[in-house]
Amino acid sequence: MQALKILVVDDDQVTRSLLKKRLSKLDYEIETADSGVEAIRIISHQYFDVVLTDLMMPGGVDGIAVLETAKENNIKTEVILITAHGSIDNAIMAMKKGATDYLQKPINLDELILRLSKIQNLKHLIKNASDLRVAMDVTEQASGETIQNLEITVAELEERITSMRSILNRQEIAPEKRIGMALAC
């Protein structure tokens, strides 16, 4: 199972390093951005499984903008927003815009880790389902070709047999002649 690739976006340097340190220990691939602007720049040329971003950030580009950009770049990217304690309304607005989840500050690391694990399991399941579908499509295509060939062949054979039958039934023609004509079908 491939490790999740996570982008941590927070203007607070201590938060960034702590999250990077703790999450890297769990074998997640972590990159960081110190502002919304930098996050958008990084997202535009790299895919991330998860973007973990602070909602309120200085610099004109906030968590919502990061969320929208991430989703635009790849529908599969899951975005978790970190909101200030008590600002549920913002969090709910973010969820409506497509955020996967939100966490309130102070971030509980155990909770974050459990949420990421859940996302990882979900992605694993989705990959399994997707692989199954690919296998099914391949099988369906192959058997489809075989069946179609048989279908056309059977139709042609049926036509020939019908022609042969009608010729063999033509009483006005001599039997030996009938056989010759039928075989020519």
The verdict on 155 binding another protein (CB under 8 A) reads yes
Contacts 24+ apart (CB under 8 A), 68-75: 68/97, 68/98, 69/39, 69/40, 69/43, 69/44, 70/43, 71/97, 71/98, 73/43, 73/44, 73/47, 74/47
- Residues 6 or more apart whose CB falls under 8 angstroms from that of 73 comprise 43, 44, 47
Site map (CB under 8 A) of another protein, residues 39-78, x = contact: ------------------------------------x---
> Residues 58, 60, 106, 175: which binds another protein (CB under 8 A)?
106
> Residues 42, 107, 168, 173: which binds another protein (CB under 8 A)?
107
The verdict on 131 binding another protein (CB under 8 A) reads no
The verdict on 166 binding another protein (CB under 8 A) reads no
Nearest to 123 by CA among 49, 73, 69: 49
CA 50/CA 32 separation, integer angstroms: 12
Query: Closest CB to another protein among 125 and 174?
Result: 125
The verdict on 169 binding another protein (CB under 8 A) reads no
Site size toward another protein, by CB under 8 A = 37
Residue 7 parent element (H or E): strand 5-9
Which residues are near another protein by CB under 8 A?
A: 10, 12, 14-15, 18-19, 75, 82, 96-98, 105-111, 114-115, 117-118, 121, 126, 133, 140-141, 143-145, 147-148, 150-152, 154-155
